[in-house]
């Protein structure tokens, strides 16, 4: 079994999915997943990209090398900051903050949430960024309504 095959199996098991459910999630067959995990087939680059894009917190760099990309290490750090801000700003326990954070998808929503929470804690530069983001969203919404 190759290291990539081992990581794919580790990932699937970490998601508590059997091969059939994992294959369905990725839009492939369970035979392909089984063959890859046994080492009798190599995953296609398309499948590896699909895994990286489908499974939150997984990136192609980790699948190929076993090492987290610097971008995902930064996301982990940002997530810890957001959890602390959620717990403090909303006066909720850390477990609830982590659950709330996990409901947000990584990307613009998460970034805006972090800025908003920093603004709630008195960070004036974050307040300005939130204000700018809100104005941009308002303009985008208005332009889409006019069409």
Would you place residue 74 in the very low, low, confident or very high pLDDT band (cuts 50, 70, 90)? Answer: very low
Of the three residues 20, 50, 65, the one that is the final residue of a domain is 65
pLDDT in tens, 92-124: 566 665 655 555 545 556 666 666 666 766 777
Do 77 and 135 belong together in one domain? yes
Give the pLDDT mean for 55-71. 72
pLDDT for res 105? 46
Q: Report the pLDDT value the prediction gives residue 75, as an integer from 0 to 100.
A: 47
Structural domain count of the chain: 2
**Residues 61, 85: one domain?**
no
* Domain range for 58: 3-65
pLDDT digits (tens, 9 = 90+) for 1-47: 688 889 899 989 988 999 999 999 999 999 999 999 998 988 888 88
The pLDDT tens digits of the residues spanning 81-91 come to 555 655 555 56
Q: Within this chain, do residues 48 and 77 fall inside the same structural domain, yes or no?
A: no
CB distance 99 to 49 below 8 Å: no
- Given 15, 44, 65, the domain boundary residue is 65
Question: How much is the pLDDT for 95?
Answer: 63
């Amino acid at each position: 079994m190759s290291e990539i095959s081992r990581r794919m199996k580790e990932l699937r098991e970490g998601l508590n999915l059997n091969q059939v459910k994992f294959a369905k999630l990725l839009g492939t067959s369970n035979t392909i997943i089984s063959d890859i995990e046994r080492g009798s087939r190599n995953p296609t680059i398309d499948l590896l990209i699909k895994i990286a894009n489908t499974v939150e917190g997984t990136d192609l760099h980790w699948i190929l090398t076993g090492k987290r990309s610097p971008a995902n290490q930064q996301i982990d750090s940002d997530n810890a900051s957001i959890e602390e801000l959620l717990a403090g700003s909303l006066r909720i326990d850390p477990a609830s903050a982590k659950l709330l954070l996990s409901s947000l998808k990584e990307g613009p929503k998460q970034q805006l949430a972090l800025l908003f929470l920093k603004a709630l804690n008195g960070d004036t530069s974050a307040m300005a960024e939130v204000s700018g983001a809100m104005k941009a969203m308002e303009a985008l919404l208005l332009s889409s309504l006019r069409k």
